[in-house]
A and B are shown apart, each in its own frame.
Chain A
Amino acid sequence: MTTSRRFASASYARNALRDIRMNKMLYLLIIPPLVYLFVFHYLPMYGVIISFQDFSFKKGYFGSDWVGFEHFQWLFENPTFRRAFFNTFKINLLRILIGFPCPIILALLINEVRVTVFKRTVQTVSYLPFFISWVVLAGIFNDLLSRDFGAVNNVFASLGLPRIDFLQDPNVFPFTLVVSEIWRTVGWGSIFYLATIATISPALYEAAEVDGANRLQKVLFVTLPALRPTMVVLLLLSIGNVLRVGFDQVFNLYNPLVYETGDIIQTYIVRSFSEFPRFSRLAAAGFIQSLLGLIMLLVANEGVKRLQDGEGIY
C-alpha cells in the first residue's frame, strides 16, 4: 500500500516535471499570477491571527501579545456589534423574501412579448442600473426620496397621502434598502432566467397546445417547471451570500438616525475603522463575518449539489 503510493507519487512528480519542461512558456506565464495570488490574497489570510492578539505596528505579527478569544467575547457582549450582527440577517432575509420572485416575474413577462425591438429595449434598459455604483445611486436617491423635496414624496403629497421619511425613519429604512436593491438588480437577475427559458424545447409548448393549454397554463406547466433548477441555484446562492452583500448600499444610504435597523457588520467595521481603529478587535469582527459567510456558502453549495446530481455551483 505505502510502496505503491510512494511509487505513484514519484511517477506523478516525474510526469509533472516532464509537463513543465514541455510547456515551459505556459508555466513561465503563470508565475506572476501566482505571486500576485500569494501576496494579495494569501498573506492577508495569515493576518487573521491578529484577531487573537493585541496587535501593534511596533511589535508586528510575531511580537504582539496573545489575548485568546478576548476580542470575540468583547464583540458579542457589545450591543452595537450584536445589533449589527442581527440586522445583517434581517435585512438580507427580507431582501431575499421580497426580491427573489421579482426577476422571475420580469423574465416571464419579457418572454411573453412578441415585438422583438420592444423586448430588446426593455432588456437593455433593465440591465443598466446594475452597472451604476451605490455612491451615484445614493446621490440620486438622497434627492429623490427626501421627505420634503423628493419627487416620490411630492407624488404622495399630491395624492393626499402622508409623506414618508424613507431614509431617516428606522422603521421604513430596511424596506427602502430592499426596494432600491430590487430596482437596481431585477433586470440583471432576469438574464439567467431568460437564458434558461431560451433552452426550453418548442416541442413542449406545441404538445401543451395540442392538449389545449392556454397561455397561462403554458407558463405554469411548461416554463415554470423548466425554471426550477435555476431558481434553486440562485436562491441557495443568495442565502449563502447573506453575510457578504449589502455593504456598498447601506454604507452610502444610511445615517445615524437609522443605525438601529440599518447598521450591518461590515458597516460597523468600516465605521469603527475610520473613527476609532482598534485593529485587533476589528480584525476579529471581520473574521467572524468571513467565517460565518464561508460556512453559509459551503452549506448552500452542498444543497445545490444534492439537488443537481453532485454538481455544485463551484
Chain B
Amino acid sequence: MRGLRWSPIDIAIVFGLAVFGLMTLYPFWYILVISFSTPEAYFASDYHLIPSSFTIEAYQYNLENPQLTRSLANSIFITAIGTTNSLIWTTITGYFLSKRGLAFVSLIFTLFLVTLFFDGGLVPKFILIRQLGLRNNLLAVILPFTINPFFLILTKNYFRTRNPEIEEAARVDGASAFTILFRIVVPTSKPILATVGLFYAVQYWNDWFWPMIYLSERELFPLALHLRNIVTQSTSFEHNTGGIGVTSPATIRASTIVLTIVPIVLAYPFVQRYFVHGILLGSSKE
C-alpha cells in the first residue's frame, strides 16, 4: 500500500485511534507512575503523566510484607496447578467430543452445555464445598473450575477442523487413543492450547471471588484477594476520614496493583499472536 496519498480522513482516523490507544493505556501508566512515587510527589502531581520522583520504597515495603509474599506464592500455586489440570482435562474432553462417530458424544456434550445455562448458585456450591471438607483448602478454588464449558467448546470445535487422515494412519499402525491424543493431536494444536491456556491462567490468577467465599484463613489468600482487601479497606478509610490523613497507602496500593498485573502483561504478547487465530477457528461452526 506504499505510495497511497493520505487524505484528511486517514489522518483523522489514525489520530482518533491513537487517542483511543493512549486512553486505554493511561490508567496503567498512571498507576505505574504512582507506584514509583514518593508520598509527597503523589500529592503534588495532578496527572502523573511524567514521573517527578523515583523510589522503590513501596515495592520494598510490599516484598518485605509476609502477607504479600505468601499471597504471591498462593497465586502462583493456584495458577500453575489449576491451569495444568484444566488444560489436561479440557483437551481430553474436547478430543472425546470432537469424535462425531462415538455413540455418547451428543449426550455428554449436552450435559456440559446445560451447565452454561443453569447453575445452582452460590449457596448450594458453598454447602457442597463445606460438605466435601474443602473449606480453607486451595483445592476448593482449583477443582470446581477444572473444565470451563466455553473453553471446552472452543477446543472441541478446533479439533473438529483438523484433518483426520493423520490420526487414522496412526490408528492403523496400532497407536492407542492416548498416544494419538498426546503424541499427534496435542503437538499440532498449539494455537488453541495456547489460547485456552491463557484464558485459564488469567481466570485462576484473577480470581478473588471464590477464594473470598471458600477461604477464610489469611495465609491461603491469593494475591487478587489480598489486593481487594487493601483496596476496600483504604477506600472505606478515605471515605471515613474525608480523604484527610491518608498517607502512603496510595503508593503501596499502586505497587500491589502493578505486582498483580505484571505477570499478565508479560505473558500477553507471547500468547496474543495465537489467541485471535485460536478463538476464530474455535468459534466457527463447521
A287 in contact with B10 given A37-B111, A133-B224, A252-B228 (CB within 8 Å): no
Asked whether, in the complex, the Cβ of B99 is within 8 Å of the Cβ of A140, the reply is no
Residue of A16, A37, A140, A187 near B30 (CB, 8 A) is: A140
Q: Which of A40-48, A87-95, A221-229 contacts B (4 or more CB under 8 A)?
A: A40-48
Count contacts on A: residues with CB < 8 A to the other chain: 90
Kindly identify, within residues 174 to 209 of chain B, every residue whose CB is under 8 Å from any CB belonging to chain A: 176-178, 202, 206-209
Q: CA of A191 to CA of B280 in the docked complex: distance in angstroms?
A: 9
Asked whether, in the complex, the Cβ of B231 is within 8 Å of the Cβ of A138, the reply is yes
Of the four ranges (under 10, 10 to 19, 20 to 34, 35 or more), the interface on chain B belongs to 35 or more
Asked whether, in the complex, the Cβ of A47 is within 8 Å of the Cβ of B127, the reply is yes
Residue of A133, A149, A279, A291 near B206 (CB, 8 A) is: A133
Asked whether, in the complex, the Cβ of A314 is within 8 Å of the Cβ of B123, the reply is no
Residue of B115, B231, B239 near A252 (CB, 8 A) is: B231
Asked whether, in the complex, the Cβ of B264 is within 8 Å of the Cβ of A131, the reply is yes
A283 in contact with B257 given A133-B206, A255-B235 (CB within 8 Å): no
**Majority secondary structure, B binding face:** helix
Q: CA of A110 to CA of B24 in the docked complex: distance in angstroms?
A: 15
Q: CA of A181 to CA of B55 in the docked complex: distance in angstroms?
A: 32
Residue of A113, A114, A146 near B17 (CB, 8 A) is: A113
- Of all chain A residues, the one with the shortest Cβ separation from B9 is A215
Collect the chain A residues with CB atoms within 8 Å of residue B279's CB. Answer: 191
Minimal beta-carbon separation of A299 from chain B (angstroms): 12
Q: CA of A25 to CA of B176 in the docked complex: distance in angstroms?
A: 7
- Between B43, B119, B123, B272, the greatest number of chain A beta carbons within 10 A of the residue's beta carbon is seen for B123
Measured CB to CB, the residues of A under 8 A from B are 12, 15-16, 19-20, 23, 25-27, 29-30, 32-34, 36-37, 39-41, 43-48, 50, 57, 106, 109-110, 112-115, 118, 121-122, 124-129, 131-133, 135-144, 146, 148-149, 151, 154-155, 158, 168, 183, 187, 191, 195, 215, 247-248, 251-252, 255, 269-270, 273, 279, 282-283, 286-287, 289-291, 294, 297-298, 311, 314
